[in-house]
Amino acid sequence: MAAYAAIVSVIHIIDTIEHHHSPPICIDKQQVESLTQILTFLQEFLEGYKSPVADGDEADPLEMRIVDAAHAVEDVIESYIVNVIELGRSSPNEIFLQGYVVDAAHGAEEVNSREEVSCIDFYEDLQQVIEEMNVIKKEAMESSAEAHLQRKGSSTRAGSLTSSSTVKESMMVGFDDVVLQLLDKLTGGNRNRQIIPITGMGGIGKTTLARHIFEHVLIKEHFDIRAWTTISQTYNVRETLSQVLHQVTGNLGSDLSENELGEKLYKYLYGRRYIIILDDMWSVEVWNKMRFFFPDYNDGSRVIVTTRLSNLATELTNSNSIGMRFLDEVCSWSLFSKTVFGDEVFPFQLEEIGKKIVGKCKGLPLSIAVIGGLLAKSELTLEYWEHIEKNLSSIVNSENDEYWLRALKLSYDHLPAYLKPCFLYTGVFEEDEEIRVAELMRLWVSEGFLKPIINKSSKTIANEYLKELVDRNLILVHKLGAVGNIKYCKMHDLVRDLSFQEAKKQRFYYVLRQHCPRGINSQRRIVIPRSTSAMTVRDAMETMSSHARSFICSDTVPELLDFRFLRTLSTYMYFGGYLDENVFQMANLRYFSARFRVGFQIPSSISLLWNLHTLIVSCWSKPTVPLEIWKMHQLKHVDVRGGMYLSDPRRGHSDVMMENLETLKGVIDFNLNEEVVRRIPNIKKLGISYKDKVMERVKCLSYLQCLSKLESLTCSIYNGCEEYLQSISFPHSLKKLYLNCGNFHLEEILEKIGSLPLLEKLELRYGQFATRRWEIVEGQFPSLKYLRLYGCGDMECWTLEGYCLPCLEQLHLRDMESLEEFPSEIGEIPTLKSIRLWDCSESMAVSLKKIVEEQEEFQGDPPFHVIVKSYDASQELQSLATPNFRVVKL
């Protein structure tokens, strides 16, 4: 909820000022104590508060008063910070106390009239908002008997919560006949190109069915090319064609026009049997614009369209449509049981009430999954389940759309207070957008949503929040990383609509659409989609709140934007000199992401951004980051895309320890030394490259072993700098390693890498094998799950001895022309799931095929999947193709 987010945000501000190594201001101790007491009470109150108007269309008046009061506290504190920084009074030796400056060196003296007024005004303004919050606290205390819910958890089941993967597997319950029907349409019948619409209301399982078919082994075997793209209501034909082209060729075609993209796609598809999924189509117009780019030459190619509109399906085809039905009673109960209890037995005492709940979901898979996800994370008591059933009963006779939205809202209402702001914030992303999880979590941090937990980093807390939302089926996992981590997530349309409506009601943020909105002056977070015109942005800025906290925009930052209260500023194109010109006004920024023209340099005044957490800069001019960055105690994530030169910290220049810094990426010729590693003791992710050889730095990579918390290292060595790798030493904490090795002899470091106990992902690019062989011996790579070799072209022999690579799941080899034969021991790794060869020797593919056949004969089932990609695959190689051994000619 917005109120909880506002309270936690103020707590973060006060805590940061109190513990900052050089705070821009100091707050009177009595005011800090009063504020902390009030805020702690309101935080605990909101954690158990049940709004009496939760089911209405208006926001709760008490919550909105809390929001406004908390925002007023933020405004008073942050506006004073800007004033103090502009006056040049940010010395850590000064504290401000009711009109006096107390200097540690010179004692107390009365300040001049201008400064005295500023300090007195700050004290009095802050006292006024504290008194207002105290009034709200008393009202909350008086109403707590009615509004306070008993905290959950005493009877919550532990250790048996269903995971998102379990729910996804169970979502196909009851659709076996539909799957068979669709498979028949795809692989048999008419050999002309066929369009097959899948129709049904939102949440009924259209996309789930399409995704299941898309990944089906029979489909992978039958079609040469598979591609998936989401259309949505605000479609863009050029972007859609680009996505399909990228999936089938690996080329985005970013510099091509719509027609050029279409022609290139047509030429690539011609002569190949393809299946294209067009997910969530709302208009036949988009198909009419693209249909000519999908060739029809009587080989059984197929296009699947998912849509909520039955009339659209009729316009697309006369006979091939598949209508998704609601689940029957048996299938609904099976889906509900699997979602709530997985493979466990359904408790007898809850069966009767459970069947009532399932009956009122009316067979909608999404509704069953979401309500089931809610119950899987809640109390196993008859009273609580009856409470759920009672709420569903009151809305069962409503209109369908309203019913489903309110049924989903019930899941939101039962979220813990600390999760509600994070869930609401996901609505700022566009429909069907692939949300990068790392970015989402950094935004949560910058907005101050995360409740502090002792001995846990903000990243750990954010990961836990995300997992909870995934487990509750409110956020969907979209893409996993190489070692199973969630890289991208999405929101179902119905859930996103719920998030958006609740956020709008609570004035949580405003997403600017294609019109100039009314009431934008009351919003704290402004989001401008990429498609919004510059004129619309300008019109909106004239009415926007001068106290806007977050500004996520499309192209450039409007001149009318007031920077003083901004915490989050993210723009896709940022051409102006705003950072240098407005750095004083931007003092309260926490998240800054922008692109700059060539020639941009980061100003030394950036250190005035006293609470900056995230700095993401895209600029190909490779700026030099000034020495002052080593004073920025709060920095957690620094990523200069395109590369940067980082000034060395001078001993004694600043004693600041950057203990919050966890990510540092894009550093060129990084001079790792004793002073540097002392400054960044908690670094977890490091991205560095070496282009110029400097003799006094060639042993700097030996200091990597001092970074005892480093988990991910990306290191690129360019020709002429290979000597840097001779002294490289890795910390045992390392989990992911990417090395671009130039012409370095890999044997010199592979033994070191193989001994890393926690290493899960390894990518080696280029490098040479002086002995032409790589031998992995017993005990090496004990935790490795993902191995990729790229361009190590002179390796001729690869052997495995003893018990090694026991956890390997994915193996990718590319441009390994000299390797003639696969080690037969690969087939004996029990965890192996897939092998990919890209433009490797044909003899290696043949030897791998023999290993697969031997394992199939021994085990009976395919041991792992193989994909072989080649630009000149011979007929002999292509003849080896099976469902488990795919051969793709590029």
Chain segment 402-456, per-residue pLDDT in tens: 555 665 676 787 788 899 989 988 877 877 788 899 989 988 888 888 887 888 8
How far apart CA 784 and CA 537 sit, in angstroms, is: 49
How far apart CA 689 and CA 608 sit, in angstroms, is: 28
Q: In this model, does residue 347 exceed pLDDT 80?
A: yes
- pLDDT band at 275, cuts 50/70/90? very high
* Nearby residues of 96 by Cβ (< 8 Å), 6 or more positions away: 25, 26, 28, 119, 122, 123
Say what the pLDDT of residue 105 is. 34
Q: In this model, does residue 148 exceed pLDDT 90?
A: no
Write the DSSP string, 14-74: HHHHHH-SS-S----HHHHHHHHHHHHHHHHHHHTB--TTTTSSS--HHHHHHHHHHHHHH
Q: In this model, does residue 149 exceed pLDDT 60?
A: no
- pLDDT band at 177, cuts 50/70/90? confident
Say what the pLDDT of residue 341 is. 85
Q: In this model, does residue 475 exceed pLDDT 70?
A: yes
Say what the pLDDT of residue 565 is. 77
Please identify which residue in the block is written with the tokens 């359904």: 346
Weakest-pLDDT range from 2-11, 366-375, 536-545, 610-619: 536-545
Which amino acid is located at 627 in the chain?
Answer: L
370 vs 711: which has the higher pLDDT: 711
- pLDDT band at 310, cuts 50/70/90? confident
How far apart CA 254 and CA 558 sit, in angstroms, is: 27
How far apart CA 760 and CA 788 sit, in angstroms, is: 12
Closest CA to 27 of 131, 107, 126: 126
End-to-end Cα separation, the chain, in angstroms: 51
Q: What is the pLDDT of residues 718-747, one digit of tens each?
A: 888 888 888 899 999 999 999 998 888 888
Weakest-pLDDT range from 185-189, 385-389, 422-426, 595-599: 595-599
CA distances to 270, 375, 428, 701 from 735, rounded to whole Å, are 43, 35, 32, 17
Segment 632-647 shows an average pLDDT of 88
Closest CA to 321 of 176, 214, 184, 196: 196
Which amino acid is located at 98 in the chain?
Answer: Q
Average pLDDT value over all residues in the chain: 80
133 touches 73 (CB < 8 A)? yes
Say what the pLDDT of residue 612 is. 92
Say what the pLDDT of residue 706 is. 93
Segment 84-98 shows an average pLDDT of 52
Say what the pLDDT of residue 547 is. 57
Write the DSSP string, 486-502: EEEEE--HHHHHHHHHH
Backbone angles phi, psi at 266, to 5 degrees: -60, -45
Say what the pLDDT of residue 158 is. 32
Locate 879 and state its tokens. Answer: 């003849």
Say what the pLDDT of residue 154 is. 33
Segment 501-508 shows an average pLDDT of 80
% of the chain at pLDDT higher than 90:
15
Say what the pLDDT of residue 557 is. 62
Q: Of 251-265, 522-536, 741-755, 863-877, which has the strongest mean pLDDT?
A: 741-755
492 touches 203 (CB < 8 A)? yes
Q: What is the pLDDT of residues 602-636, one digit of tens each?
A: 888 888 888 899 998 887 778 888 888 888 888 99
Burial of 188 (C-beta count, 10 Å sphere; 0-12/13-18/19+): exposed
Q: In this model, does residue 637 exceed pLDDT 90?
A: yes
Say what the pLDDT of residue 104 is. 33
How far apart CA 474 and CA 203 sit, in angstroms, is: 12
Say what the pLDDT of residue 118 is. 63
Q: In this model, does residue 784 exceed pLDDT 90?
A: yes
Closest CA to 745 of 711, 795, 781, 780: 795
Write the DSSP string, 165-195: HHHHHHTTTT-HHHHHHHHHHHHSS--S-EE
% of the chain at pLDDT higher than 70:
81
800 vs 362: which has the higher pLDDT: 800
Pairing of β 786-790 and β 810-814: parallel
0.85 surpassed by pTM:
no
